[in-house]
Amino acid sequence: MKQRRWSQWMAVFAVMAFCLSPGLSAGVYAEEPAAKAAPTEVVEIKGQVKAVSNKAKTVSVTVEGKGVVLVRFDDATEFVNFKETKEIEPPTGVLVKYKTVGPDKVATYIKKTLVSLPVGVTEIKTEELAELVAKGPAAGNYCLIDSRPAKVAAAELIPTAVSIPVTLMEEKGEKTLTCGKDKVMIFYCGGPT
């Protein structure tokens, strides 16, 4: 019986000595990394949203050359040109600025990015287009083209618009255009540019 108790005490002593050794005691008593680490410099990434989790408060962004980058957001994160994360559903383009705090990348700034217009192409405001439509194509000297898919455009067009789906334009080129090059050509689609 004494031999068995001696063995049990030796086992308990060995476990305690092992746990209190320098290699493990540092891990046992260490502070949480996020509380200990100071924020680093701001990093900027640009890519497409892959996923958004409002519960976890994270945005996954696919960045060329880096793969998928997971970024946390919080109440201090500045949302530019949108108010709620449901407005940046995949595959919305975003510009994210973040700081690394402990193991986390914490966004300080998230902005929806818009497609860059090609050289020589300008954006027309809704009010300007409404004025042109009121004048009509001849007086306004314009050609309005709905480049959405044919089924979508069939439901409703802006008055004076002609439906020429972008897929058809890609396939047949300028042959699909119904107006001369002397007119201002205005294209619209179903999403932001």
Q: Which of 65, 64, 47 is nearest to 107 (CA)?
A: 47
**Class of CATH domain 43-112:** mainly beta
Q: What is the pLDDT of residues 67-87, one digit of tens each?
A: 999 999 999 999 998 899 888
| β 58-63/78-80 pair status | unpaired
Q: Which of 59, 22, 58, 63 is nearest to 44 (CA)?
A: 63
Average pLDDT over residues 124-129: 90
> Fold identical between 43-112 and 126-188?
no
> In which band, very low, low, confident or very high, does the pLDDT at 2 lie, cut at 50, 70 and 90?
low
Q: What is the pLDDT of residues 35-72, one digit of tens each?
A: 444 556 999 999 999 999 999 999 999 999 999 999 99
The domain segmentation of the chain, as residue ranges, is: 43-112, 126-188
Q: What is the pLDDT of residues 131-185, one digit of tens each?
A: 999 999 999 999 999 998 888 888 898 999 999 998 888 888 888 888 888 899 9
Instruction: Return the DSSP state at 70.
Output: E
Evaluate whether the domain defined by 126-188 bears CATH number 3.40.50.300: no
